[in-house]
Structure 1
Amino acid sequence: MSSIRHLIPALSTIILIATTFASNQPPEPPRPFLIHDTAPAPQWEQAYVVGNGRLGATSLGSFPSETIILNEETVWERKPDTPLPTDARAILEQARTLIQDGSPHLANQLYTSKLQSQNARPSAYQLLANLNIKHNLQATSPTFTFSNWKITDTQISAKNPARHTITLSAHIDIPPDQYPNLINPTIVIPRTKAFLDIALNKQHLGSSSKWNPITNYPTTPPTSPNTHLLKPGQNTIFITYKNISTDTPLPAPATLTTTPPLTRSLDFYRGINTTNIALPQGQITRTLIASHPHNLIALNITNTTPQGLDLTLALSRPAGASTSTDHNDLLITGQAVLTSDFKTPAGTKFQARLHPIINTSKTNLTITPDNQLQIQGGSSLTLLITAATDYNYNNPRAPLTPNFNKQTLKPLISAKNLSFNQILTAATNDTASLMSRCNIDLGSTPSSLTQLTTPKRLAHLKQNHLTNIDPDFIEDLFQFGRYLLISSSRPNTLPANLQGIWNPHLYPRWNADFHLNINLQMNYWPAEVTNLSSLHKPLLDFTKRLLPQGKTLAQTLGYDGFTTGHATDAFLQSRIMTKATWWGGSLTSSSWLTDHLFTHYQFTQDKTFLASAFPVLEQNARFFLTWLKPDPNTNLLLTGPGASPENSFWFYDKQNKKHQVGLSLGCTYDQQLAHQSLTNYLTAARILDIQNQYTSASNQALDQLAPTTPIGPDGRVMEWRKPEYIEREYDHRHLSHLYAFFPGSQYNTLENPAFTNAALKSLNTRFEHSQDHTGWNLGWMTNLYATLGQSDRALECIQRLFKMKISPNLFDLHPPFQIDGNFGATAGIAHLLIKSNAKTPENNTIIELLPALPNQLHTGSAQGLRARGNFTIDQMTWKNSHLTSLTITSHSSLPTTILANNKTYPLIFTNNQTQTLTFPAP
């Protein structure tokens, strides 16, 4: 179908229905949304998380010792500012001249040596504290220690003789009569920052690194969770430490531990994490929630054994904090530390408080001299955890003067007089009310699969990801992404960072910061389309707060308006960062952010919001008006110098020497963002009836803008506009040159077939050359394939995600954990079912239903999806890939055209009307 104007209208049955009813009780889910396992998480990336937007908690489900990792979204180190050189403008102009003169490699060298010489990076998000729980019970199962340790291999690094690789081996004997009693056998090794591999009986068990320090290894290979490698009699363990310093003492010996029968689960429709431990005379249950209504974390522990509760609790942090007590409350107070030494206080000051609530006089509480809390007797205990920091949302660079005692006690005033069940009900109703806004049913999965633990179900899918389609599991992935957004992004909080709000480290990978060249924006792709528009607000507010620092950066570089570097942090740092131009050379991330402001308006039609966002849209347009320069050869406007995010090209100089280069003029990504930014600004100005010198200049700039999306001789979209800029990586993870197709809206399949065909060729090249992906790359590919109408490839991306990048707790893995892939997957699954990026000649939204429905998901239904123009799909059903019914509400009384079953259905609405359509069978 090549043009909107060629679509054929069709008749349908239209029935007006009554408005929806209101209820204080959220509806029950259509089925349980649960992930579960029968063993503790062997590493943090397999743990279960809860969050209330500000506070997060992670449970590994361990026993008898458990660590609950606690997070507060504003605990960040603050690195010293590293200002750009005062002659930054001259340097940038010199780089532009060098590129124009045919020497982009020299421009690259100049940029790196002068503007990136300090190798600045954003500050790091840090954990708040650990809650350490020890159940003081007599051993219920045996523990064995490996013995006869030997060094079996040593390899000295050729590049660095001070570092080497060493392999150790040891034996353990399991008496045959004790072997049947080993439940959840796990090898426990000391934590180390050295890269590490572990094998049992010559079968690989797992790997570790400083970014992902694993200490617990179940004795089952990760690829075959049904296969136990431990056997009666002698067993041999091999541990290889890689890149370890020659003077580092080797860690202490490993042990084999076992645990009682254990189950752990996460109900992510309600936000309840439960761990059950079965003991000979009873059961221990830990229930963990994060309450948004009460602004706290709550943990309930019950013990039905005759012994009753016997616990030791402590708060701890690797550095930068001290513990104290306040009556029976445990406190930990401190300040974030620089990641350069993990000692120097720098950044957010904080305090966390643990308040115990006992439910019987039989329970005794004792504070130890080292600030631990011992609890003995009784059968039930509730722990309330609160936290406060000195972070100033209105001006992050000017910390508040905190009263931590008052701030951490405030949430307890109402909550401490409530039962745990009352706190639980308020928290879960709050979460479920948001989750219930959108549901999808993609078909049925056999009960033989749905009854499996999540790791086993994932392993089954991985055995043949192309044929083992699990519709319920795809629904789970969709809803889990929504759960993560609900848990990590609420109004009046920071936006979700690279890890949402969950982090066990002082120095997480990529700082767990805000990467602005795809990652932060991808976090919010599901917000509008899956009916969580209010959760978009943290990103929208954050974008507005970036304005002052962004204006400073633009002025330092000699431009008007505002812009940002490729990454920032909680302190709104805005500058050119890192040591390579392909990372730090991009200056258009601000435009990607401002597009979210306009997208929010498109979905909500909220003119008051648009008016509040207009100054930011205008400032970003003003940046382009001064950054765009005429091409000496064509007199058309080009962006630059700029980089296509994290990608680079080969360039041969006049001596035929090859150079890796990131900078160019008018790269496709920058040109597309210039077009998107100026178009959004002018559209907003027309809606708000604003005309000024900048609207006039923007109209002129759009007319003179060089083509945004050049197509090469091979029919693909060119990432760089000159053919002598040679593509280096056909499998590169970023798809920046396809921005205008998704999430941008310059092109659509109805009006721009030539461009969308070129985009598809480019996307296919990346997909087919990729042997490995990042999780977020597959999320982006899913959305692009869905937007381009390629249902089979979109589903294959989802299946590859399951096969390669989804952890047994449904976390997306870069690796390690990056939350953006979860959000990208959720949005991509939604875009299989709905698309609203095109308009009729009358400027009405076209809502395409089932635009990329895979054949394997041929029958199903959806409720609560949203479309631009402020429309809600209250209900739609399909059978045999044919839309059978639709109920739709126009909340702004705007007309629309439905495109379904290859026909169009124009609809006119009045008074926020709801209409129902039925479609005859084909």
Structure 2
Amino acid sequence: MKILFSLLAAAALLSCTAPAETAQELALRFNTPAAAWEETLPLGNGRIGMMPDGGIDKELIVLNDITMWSGSEDPEALNPEALNYLPKIRELLLTGKNGEAQRMMYDHFQCGGLGSSGGKSKDAPYGCFQMLGDLHINYSYPQTEDAGNYVRTLSLNDAVASTVFMKGETTFTREYISSHADDVLAVHVAADKKGSVSFEVSLSRPERATLSVQENTLIMEGQLNDGYDTDKGVRYLTKVQIVNKGGELTAGSNTLAIANADEAVILISTSTDMLDKEYTSTVDSLLEQAKKRSFGKMKQAHIAAYKEKFDRVELWLGEQDNTTPTNERLAGFQTDDDPAFAALYFQYGRYLMISGTDENSLPLNLQGLWANQVQTPWNGDYHLNINVQMNYWPVEVCNLSELHNPLIDFTQSIVPSGEATAQTFYGANGWLAHMMSNPWKFTAPGEHASWGATNTGGAWLCEHLWEHYAFTQDKEYLRTVYPTLAGAAQFFLSSMISEPRNGWLVTAPSSSPENAFYMPGSDDRIFVCMGPTMDVQIVNELFTNVLSAAAILGIEDETTTNIRETLPKLPPMQISPEGYLQEWLEDYKEVDPKHRHVSHLYGLYPSNQISPNTTPELAAAARETLERRGDAGTGWSRAWKINFWARLYDGNRAFKLLKSLLEPTSGSEVNMHRGSGTYANLFCAHPPFQIDGNLGGTAGIAEMLIQSQDGYIQLLPALPDKWPTGSFKGLRVRGGAEAAASWSDNRLSSATIKALNDNTFKVKIPGYATTVKQNGKELTAENGYVSVVLKAGQEAKLEFIP
């Protein structure tokens, strides 16, 4: 025993100074049942999911389906009177009468109908993402002792949650999976003493649910409101069965019960008719197939399917603490700066991405896949002024490229609606989308111009179409999305106007998302403007990407010609006399200098129009802008700032923002101005929960470790002092490659570049390295870079020698 202890101690000592050879255990861990939904554990397979609370006597499991959407297509959204007022609105803007233009927009230039109903649209045509329902499990035990040794975990390695505790001498175990292989939800209940498993199961939903039991099957079915109280709303069906070993199964009027079993599996099969018109037969066939497998085999197949994606990337920043509860680690991070906890949070974001969407599902909405209400905050929709895009920032760099498909497919699907919106509101060609959308292809301006006027939502989506190509180099894919890119450009080519002072071409009317300013001599809060800086950056990027795509595909047409003529007429980015980047054409005074949106730094991230290397003056202005904005903000705002500081190569400031993002918080009331942070289950608080902060945080950590936006690979560009030793593998770069790296004493020691296609990869040499070797052979440096020529599948192992 002493020899074994000595070996374990030696291994632990070595692990403090060198990355582990095998993947670490990555888990969320709690010693008590969840007291609130924000403490429960999210499981999902990209289509359906659940969140169990791990209750001992009574357990609540919230069920979800990503297609549980009320609403329907809304023909009233196309407001025919809007175009009549557009000339007058523009005339007012051109003469500096923004207040009058804004009032006219409030009255006339907005969507018809109810729009999003102020974010409460579950019974309106716009619709709302909703919870599926609640699964209730009431347990009974032969033991009378209180429960002890309670542990509740979520394994990120396996996508399996568990609840384990003892009553007397009996250990009770529950395991939960949202199967990536069998496409059902499953709860396995067992004990280490025969005949100890007894429970009753029921389903409920706050509204629009019919419950019944037929042939030992618990059934919940219903139809959501299409917004018109007709029979065209989304229909859903959920079936629950129990497969038991030992014991007796009985059925009540709305319950199923098992008594004195050795073990039992609760199987939940569910679907809607939104994407599957044969949804009822789908539910039945999935349930029947799942019943044929033992839980062990089902779990094994699930883990294998999940790990194919999850295991592509590893991040080692130190040994994981797998004994301290996660809520305590979260609180402790504010003082101990535990690097391993940051790595856990990074991988949790990848877990949420894999669990929340798949290649054929809807895009992740504001809450991803998970909701516990029928009226989710802000309808749980797709906000196009950053939020849905932030959801997809990690997919390429974090080696989940195929999970970009739902957003890419959605972008292409809204083009016809966007064309109608362009004609109806602007009399323009091409297509656009404003600041919000839904599965019903809503592209009109929101019902209030203060937030709904932003008209670059569709163009921002197009950035993701290009980024997918930049990372994959798939020319056939690029050919399929080129018409969508070109159509978005055509809208701006045909709708921008010339502003009077410099003759620059600008969007009008528009806004800098949700931020207000004061006109000189007025106390009125103004949102409506011409050519806000974010619009200029997005349009510039869109035009540039269309030209790049056209060159790759050998296309030369009227659109490319017009873009070349128009690009020089766009406004430049302007620096205020006080040193910050201007948010508007004029240097207006902001109503809230600490506003959560920092939209005018779009050019810094996710775009690359501002860089310390290529535009140092603009980078300095971006830094000053961030200093003025401060480090506070809603959850997603803090996540965005991590990425900003990483792009400015300031790893310590990026780490400070990561700590800010990970401040423990509680409460679920909607509040955009209260301090934000992270809930006990590591869900990001807006507040309330929004998944964009999680995924933006994961993207930010990746950005601290690797960047490739300027035509070369830069390893550890924003490594904080707090992460002196570490390694990663599997992160991807533009140009089509995977990268791995190891470092110690905050210095890069080695890296591997694996080509996914034939290409030459330029790698920046760290300032402290005097020699770079590839596979043992010294490389010739040129202006601080080395070039690595690889065929698809080849690897280059690089050493960086001081």
TM-score by length of 1: 0.78
Letter in 1 for 2:659: Q
Gap change, CA 1:510 and 1:346, over 3 Å in 2: farther
**By how many angstroms is 1:312 displaced?**
0.9
| Contact in 1 for aligned 2:141/2:197 (Cα 8 Å) | no
For residue 865 of structure 1, what is the aligned residue in structure 2? 731
- Residue in 2 that maps onto 1:86: 80
User: After the TM superposition, which parts of structure 1 deviate over 6 Å for at least 4 consecutive aligned residues?
Assistant: 343-346
User: Partner of 1:908: helix, strand, or coil?
Assistant: strand
Over aligned residues, Cα RMSD in angstroms? 2.0
The residue matched to 1:48 in structure 2 has which SS? coil
- Deviation per residue, 1:605-630 (Å, 9 max, x gap): 00011011111101101011012112
Q: 2: CA distance between counterparts of 1:80 and 1:915? A: 52
Cα distance in 1, alignment partners of residues 291 and 691 from structure 2 = 33
User: Which amino acid in structure 1 is aligned with residue 290 of structure 2?
Assistant: A
Distance in 1, matches of 2:137 and 2:482, equals 50
2:325 is matched with 453
| Counterpart position of 1:512 | 380
Q: What does 1:760-799 correspond to in 2, within 5 Å?
A: 760-767=623-630, 770=632, 773-799=633-659
Match of 1:132 in 2: 136
Q: Deviations over 1:236-269 (max 9, x none)?
A: xxxxxxxxxxxxxxxxxxxxxxx65522110012
**Cross-structure match for 2:471:** 603
Q: Residue in 2 aligned with 1:70?
A: 63
Task: Verify: 1:377 aligned to 2:377, yes or no.
Answer: no
Q: Which of 20, 34, 45 pairs up with 1:41?
A: 34
Which of 542, 551, 556 in structure 1 is aligned with 2:424? 556
Shift of residue 90 of structure 1? 2.4
Asked if 1:99 corresponds to 2:103, the answer is: no
What is aligned with 1:719? 583
1:120 aligned residue: 115
- In structure 2, the residue matched to 1:816 is 688
Shift of residue 401 of structure 1? 4.8
- Structure 1: distance between partners of 2:663 and 2:279: 49
Offset, 1:747? 2.7
State how far apart, in whole Å, the 2-side matches of 1:403 and 1:797 are.
44
Instruction: Quote the residue 2:318 is aligned against.
Output: 443
Distance (Å, rounded) in 2 between the aligned partners of 1:508 and 1:356: 31
Amino acid at match of 1:349: R
| Alpha carbons 1:630, 1:636 under 8 Å: kept | yes
Letter aligned with residue 292 of structure 1:
H
Q: Tell me by how many angstroms 1:29 deviates.
A: 5.6
Cα 1:401–1:266 change in 2 (3 A) is closer
Alpha-carbon spacing, 1:717–1:907, altered in 2? closer, same or farther (3 Å): same
In structure 2, the gaps of 5 or more residues are: 1-19, 117-125, 665-676, 768-783
Name the structure, 1 or 2, with higher relative contact order (CA <8 Å, separation 6+). Answer: 1
2:47 to 30, 48, 54: 54
- Kindly provide the CA deviation profile for residues 835-883 of structure 1, in whole angstroms up to 9, marking residues without a partner as x: 1110xxxxxx21011111111112111101110000110x211111211
Cα deviation code 1:6-33 (max 9, x no counterpart): xxxxxxxxxxxxxxxxxxxxx9962110
8 A contact 1:281–1:306 mirrored in 2: no
Distance 1:504 1:84 in 2: 32
Moved more, 664-673 or 748-757: 748-757
Q: Distance in 1 between matches of 2:232 and 2:379?
A: 15
- CA deviation string 1:395-448 (max 9, x = no partner): xxxxx75451x2211113432111101110111111122111111112356x5x
State the shift of 1:909 in Å: 2.1
Q: Using the TM superposition, give the Cα deviation of residue 318 of structure 1 relative to its aligned residue in structure 2, in angstroms.
A: 0.8
Query: Match for residue 150 of structure 2?
Result: 262
Counting matched residue pairs gives: 743
For residues 151 and 139 of structure 2, the distance between their equivalents in structure 1, rounded to whole angstroms, comes to 16
Deviations 1:484-527 (A, max 9, x none): 00001110101111111011110011111111111100011110
By how many angstroms is 1:712 displaced?
Answer: 0.7
Whole-Å separation in 2 of the counterparts to 1:669 and 1:140: 64
Identical aligned pairs, as a percentage?
Answer: 33
> 2-side partners of 1:30 and 1:423: how far apart?
23
AA of the residue aligned to 1:127:
M
- Partners of 1:506 and 1:28 lie apart in 2 by 46
Contact 1:64 1:134 in 2 (8 A): yes
| Per-residue deviation, residues 96-122 of structure 1 (Å, max 9, x unmatched) | 110111100111111111133855114
Q: In the alignment, what sits opposite 2:341?
A: 473
Matched, 1:386 2:291: no
2:236 corresponds to 1:350? yes
State the SS of the aligned residue for 2:611: coil
Give the whole-Å Cα distance in 1 for the aligned partners of 2:450 and 2:64. 32
CA separation of 1:885/1:291 partners in 2, compared to 1, >3 Å: closer, same or farther?
A: same
Partner of 1:202: none
More strand by share: 1
Greater share of helix residues, 1 or 2?
2
Distance 1:492 1:79 in 2: 20
- 1:618-652 Cα shifts (integer Å, max 9, x gaps): 11010110121122332221112101111111124
Amino acid at match of 2:95: D
Distance 1:605 1:381 in 2: 49
Tell me if 1:407 matches 2:282.
Answer: yes
Deviates more, 1:306-315 or 1:273-282: 306-315
Match of 1:493 in 2: 361
Residue of structure 2 equivalent to 1:397: none
1:646-661 to structure 2, matched below 5 A, reads 646-652=514-520, 656-661=521-526
Query: Separation in 2 of the partners of 1:83 and 1:861?
Result: 51
Listed as ranges, the gaps of 5+ residues in structure 1 are 1-26, 142-182, 184-258, 393-399, 839-844
Give the Å deviation of 1:715: 1.2
**Paired residue for 1:662, among 517, 523, 527?**
527
Tell me the amino acid that sits aligned with residue 885 of structure 1. S
Q: Highest Rg: 1 or 2?
A: 1
**1:359 matches 2:240:** no
Residues 512, 534 of structure 2: 8 Å contact kept:
yes
Native 8 Å contact 1:76 1:125 kept in 2: yes
Give the C-alpha shift of residue 578 in structure 1. 3.3
Q: Which secondary structure state, in structure 2, belongs to the residue aligned with residue 746 of structure 1?
A: coil
Sort the Cα spacing of 1:414 and 1:84 in 2 relative to 1 into closer, same or farther, 3 A.
closer
Q: Helix, strand or coil for the counterpart of 1:796?
A: helix
- Is the contact between residue 320 and residue 345 of structure 1 (CA under 8 Å) also seen in structure 2? no
In the alignment, the residues of structure 1 paired with residue 496 and residue 21 of structure 2 have an alpha-carbon distance, to the nearest angstrom, of 54
Deviations 1:170-212 (A, max 9, x none): xxxxxxxxxxxxx7xxxxxxxxxxxxxxxxxxxxxxxxxxxxx
1-structure distance, mates of 2:301, 2:93:
60
Shift of 1:129: 1.6
1:306 Cα deviation (Å)?
Answer: 5.8
Native 8 Å contact 1:550 1:574 kept in 2: yes
Q: Give yes or no for the alignment of 1:910 onto 2:791.
A: yes
Q: 1:403 to 1:519 in 2, by over 3 A?
A: closer
Q: Does 1:524 align with 2:389?
A: no
Shift of 1:67: 1.2
